[in-house]
Structure 1
Amino acid sequence: MKNLIIIGARGFGREVYDLALQCAGFNIEYIIKGFLDDKSDALEGFENYPKIVGSVEDYEIQEDDIFVCALGTVKWKKYYAELILAKGGKFINLIHPSTNLNTNAITGKGLLVFMYSNISNDCVIEDFVTIQGYVGLGHDTKICKWSHLSSYSFTGGFVILEEEVTLNTRATVLPHVTVRKGATVGASSLVIKNVKENTTVFGVPAKKIEF
């Protein structure tokens, strides 16, 4: 039996805790040991959660530890997961049992996939991708490392999301479109053409915006 540790004890960490309880491996392949968070009082005022066992920076990995990274911002997910990887930590997938993985779908490691998502035929999901609830991925979609897809977002067939892409809630990417590395698509936006690297687009149709 492995000891699962959740990196991040804030709001998203609490959601990932419940995801871990609902997955088939709970109490069979793993139990939940606790959270890692540098804010030691992050769970103050909340009940029914395991304890914070330390910070990522200070934690010494034990033999039976396994990890997931529950940080909703791509930058910090990558930063803290890489700290644990550098210490030799091993990451697992948490894929909700209501998710559909269709024929030939390929999944990497460190994935978080929430309820009622549909990963269609011949999709490729690389390492450390987060897919929140009710996401739909069309056939032959490729989602590259570290990307984050918020609830109800959708990709058409043959879409490519390069590394570190964020799709916010209800974002839609039409078929054959590529969203380049580090780009962000705003909530409820419709992407009809390729998105350039490290840009933010928003609207219907989605256009580049500046802050």
Structure 2
Amino acid sequence: MDKPVIILGAKGIAHPALEIFNSNQVIVYGFLDEDESIHGTEINNIPVLGNTEDEGYLKLIGKKTEAFVAVDDSKYRKFLVELLNDQRKVQPVNAIHQRAYISTDASLGHGNFINANACVGAGSQIGSHCIINSGAIIDHMVKVQDYVQIGAGSIINAEVTIEEGAFIGSGVTIVSGVTIGKGSRVGAGSVVISSVGKNETVFGNPAAKVK
């Protein structure tokens, strides 16, 4: 990556995103965040420059810098991605830790966060703007749609489909062939042995619907 990166968001995954870019010798120009109380502060010597909608900084994106959206909340992440698409005609770059393993025939979209020791197996398809935390294992032929979040240490077995906006907590195991529905949530430590419906929340071993 030749251009430096502006990170939109300065909380949550923003600090590890900075570490990821550092691990790949990519220069981070600065952070933008909606919280004015942290403007002018620094994260590991990198400044929080201003607001995420500050035209003065946004106009740099696409010409002089790349952008990465480091926001945990999927709705706000989607808002910022669409802002970049509409105003700057750019897609956020991927932030992939040097110690992550991506199979040579896996496919990735744009703007994904993939932290250290995560593994994406053969033939798997990762959409765009997903968060895959440390040590998560995505086995072969898995389909992960856009804006999915997968917690640290989770194991997604072969041929699982995770639909858009689903949240998988830390330490979850999902057995082969299961579908996790759009906007659903799987609680930390759960073992999912059957498909989860759209917008459902499940928890436990085996995972059961939470009413």
**Above 0.5 in TM-score?**
yes
Distance in 1 of aligned mates of 2:44 and 2:157: 39
Per the alignment, residue 168 of structure 1 pairs with 169
| TM-score, normalised relative to structure 2 | 0.90
Matched positions, count: 205
Residue by residue over 1:24-46, the C-alpha shift from the partner in whole angstroms, topping out at 9 and shown as x without a partner, is xx2xxx42111110112337876
Per the alignment, residue 40 of structure 1 pairs with 36
Q: Contact between 1:9 and 1:43, CA under 8 Å: does it hold in 2?
A: no
User: What's the secondary structure of 1:87's corresponding residue?
Assistant: helix
Per the alignment, residue 18 of structure 2 pairs with 17
User: Matched residues, percent identical?
Assistant: 27
Q: Contact between 2:40 and 2:48, CA under 8 Å: does it hold in 1?
A: no
Residue by residue over 1:88-129, the C-alpha shift from the partner in whole angstroms, topping out at 9 and shown as x without a partner, is 233111111211122411111111111111111110011111
Distance in 1 of aligned mates of 2:44 and 2:70: 18
Per the alignment, residue 76 of structure 2 pairs with 76
Per the alignment, residue 190 of structure 2 pairs with 189
Per the alignment, residue 54 of structure 1 pairs with 50
Unaligned runs of 5+ in 2: none
Unaligned runs of 5+ in 1: none
Greater shift in the superposed pair: 144-153 or 42-51 = 42-51
**Residues 68 and 47 of structure 1: is their aligned pair in 2 closer, same or farther, counting only changes over 3 Å?**
closer
- 1:148 to 2:146 alignment: no
Greater shift in the superposed pair: 182-191 or 201-210 = 201-210
Distance in 2 of aligned mates of 1:64 and 1:31: 12
Residue by residue over 1:54-95, the C-alpha shift from the partner in whole angstroms, topping out at 9 and shown as x without a partner, is 212223321112111111122222122222222123311111
Per the alignment, residue 100 of structure 1 pairs with 101
User: What's the secondary structure of 2:4's corresponding residue?
Assistant: strand
Greater shift in the superposed pair: 116-125 or 72-81 = 72-81
**Residues 76 and 47 of structure 1: is their aligned pair in 2 closer, same or farther, counting only changes over 3 Å?**
closer
Q: Contact between 2:41 and 2:47, CA under 8 Å: does it hold in 1?
A: no
| Aligned partner letter, 1:188 | G
Distance in 2 of aligned mates of 1:160 and 1:78: 21
Distance in 2 of aligned mates of 1:13 and 1:53: 14
| Aligned partner letter, 1:52 | V
Q: Aligned-residue CA RMSD in angstroms?
A: 1.7
Distance in 1 of aligned mates of 2:102 and 2:157: 16
Distance in 1 of aligned mates of 2:43 and 2:54: 25
Per the alignment, residue 5 of structure 2 pairs with 4
| TM-score, normalised relative to structure 1 | 0.90
User: What's the secondary structure of 1:158's corresponding residue?
Assistant: coil
Q: What displacement does 1:47 show?
A: 5.4
